[in-house]
Amino acid sequence: MADSSESAGPPPSAGPPPSAGALPSAGALPSAGALPSAGALPSAGALPPADARRTAVEAVVRIESGGAYANVLLPKMLAETELEARDRRLVTELVFGSTRRKRALDHVVDRYLVADPPPLARAALRIGAHQLIEMGTPPHAAVSATVQATPKRFRGLVNAVLRKVAAAASAGIEYPSRAVALSYPDWIVALLCTELGEQRALDALSAMNLPARSHRREDGYVQDQSSQQVAAVVPAARGDLVLDLCAAPGGKSTEIAGRGAAVVAVDLQPGRAGLVASNAQRLGCSRRLEGNGVAVVVADGTAPPFRRGTFDAVLVDAPCSGLAALRRRPDARWRIRPADISVLAALQRRLLESAAPLVAPGGTLVYSVCTLSLAETSEVVAATGAELAALGFSAQPSSLLVPTADRDGMFWSVWTRSADR
């Protein structure tokens, strides 16, 4: 899966699940520019520098009503403004935070509504409530600034409702369930509480409501710590040939190449493969199949065009539901459906089974996903165990990191192939 710290595109979970033979593609998803505009709001580029909240309102409308992916849309919108760095950070928190927390925020706002408001009013109410309930913004400032960012025809409504929300926040808010309080779909909370244990799951879900933290590698690439740990378990040194079967956006490929290995980086879609090539070039990797090189190949990971026994190590960083990295893709929790997990698990098994024969005798196979569901983690390992054993692989204990304030979650498993197979 794409490195969780990258805003390279929507995750595989952000929409209909991929077909069993396809790796999801950012190119196949709607671009921000193709989405409907936010009606009466001007374009982001026309906004005065101080109008951060109006930018946030427009973004929330385009995410909620236009189907935009938050981590794709917002960087494009901010690039078209003249907002100062402080205001950009405010917009990011308002958009990402209110999108993550929309179920909890709407629960409070809806107490004071007699009908569902139009998208522009809903977006303004949501970012106003986020400031009052989650950010601790002084009520007068939060209400006044949000009302000013609202189209005139909705200002009376927004002002009246946010004043009541401010009073409720001051008095203390009670939620009808943990899923509402944490702002997740019921099924995600139930699934993780069952599979991780209640307290571990609640801690992970709470952590994924916090803003994501950036971690910069020595080469300057921004990548979550959990993704860096996966790359580190892939053994690679000068002279080794490594396959990264689901490589976009290229963070793990470039880290492995940085140790002197030659890396073949595969993705099904040309647009995502191009992103790998761009990141590799930016980090100074050669484009040739040589030490510190990343050779990008457009191919189907379930039918890779390579000879058996070719690679010293193969990494399958597979498409997944992303349930361990939801803070970075704030709308993903509202897009993924329970049925998607079984479809993704079937794809993960096919990728792993296709990758295994490509490992040379004595080589290493690594499987990783940034999710927490048993179906995509330990059950994939169990389902492929007999086939891998028949090929001479022995498994090491799997690792599961749950999300914390400092990093996303991640699962990985490692196998070593017998030298005489």
Decide if pLDDT at 23 tops 60. Answer: no
* Residue 21 to residue 303: CA distance in whole angstroms: 8
Indicate the average pLDDT of the chain: 89
Instruction: Report percent pLDDT > 70 for the chain.
Output: 88
Across 313-320, average pLDDT: 98
Out of 246, 285, 320, 370, pick the active-site residue: 370
Q: Would you say residue 350 lies in a domain?
A: yes
Q: Report residue 363 as tokens.
A: 């080589």
Is 301 in the same domain as 402? yes
Q: Quick one: pLDDT band at residue 314, thresholds 50, 70, 90?
A: very high
Alpha helix segments (H runs only) across 172-294: 178-182, 186-196, 198-207, 225-233, 251-257, 270-282
Is 172 in the same domain as 257? no
Q: Would you say residue 404 lies in a domain?
A: yes
Residues spanned by the domain of 39: 30-68+102-178
Which range (34-48, 53-67, 104-118, 177-191) has the least confidence?
A: 34-48
Q: Would you say residue 11 lies in a domain?
A: no
Across 330-334, average pLDDT: 97
* Residue 160 to residue 147: CA distance in whole angstroms: 10
Q: Quick one: pLDDT band at residue 64, thresholds 50, 70, 90?
A: very high
Q: How many CB atoms lie within 10 A of CB 182?
A: 21
Decide if pLDDT at 10 tops 70. Answer: no
- Is 370 known to be catalytic? yes
Decide if pLDDT at 22 tops 60. Answer: no
Last residue of a domain, one of 178, 201, 236: 178
Q: Would you say residue 14 lies in a domain?
A: no
The pLDDT score that the predictor gives to residue 51 is 87
At 206-231, the pLDDT tens digits run 999 999 888 999 999 999 999 999 99
* Residue 415 to residue 401: CA distance in whole angstroms: 18
* Residue 263 to residue 260: CA distance in whole angstroms: 9
At 84-130, the pLDDT tens digits run 999 999 999 999 999 999 999 999 999 999 999 999 999 999 999 99
Is 384 in the same domain as 247? yes
Any idea which residue has 């539901």 for tokens?
321
Decide if pLDDT at 48 tops 60. Answer: no
Decide if pLDDT at 57 tops 90. Answer: yes
Q: Report residue 244 as tokens.
A: 């990264």
Across 151-163, average pLDDT: 97
The pLDDT score that the predictor gives to residue 19 is 31
At 256-277, the pLDDT tens digits run 999 999 999 999 999 999 999 9
Which range (40-49, 71-80, 96-105, 125-134) has the least confidence?
A: 40-49
Last residue of a domain, one of 162, 178, 194: 178
- In this prediction the pTM is 0.87
Decide if pLDDT at 35 tops 90. Answer: no
Instruction: Report percent pLDDT > 90 for the chain.
Output: 86
CATH number at residue 275: 3.40.50.150
Phi, psi of 179 (to 5 degrees): -65, -40
Q: Would you say residue 206 lies in a domain?
A: no
Q: Per the structure, how many domains does the chain have? A: 2
The pLDDT score that the predictor gives to residue 24 is 29
The pLDDT score that the predictor gives to residue 34 is 29
Is 399 in the same domain as 332? yes
Decide if pLDDT at 311 tops 70. Answer: yes
* Residue 94 to residue 410: CA distance in whole angstroms: 27
Q: Would you say residue 238 lies in a domain?
A: yes
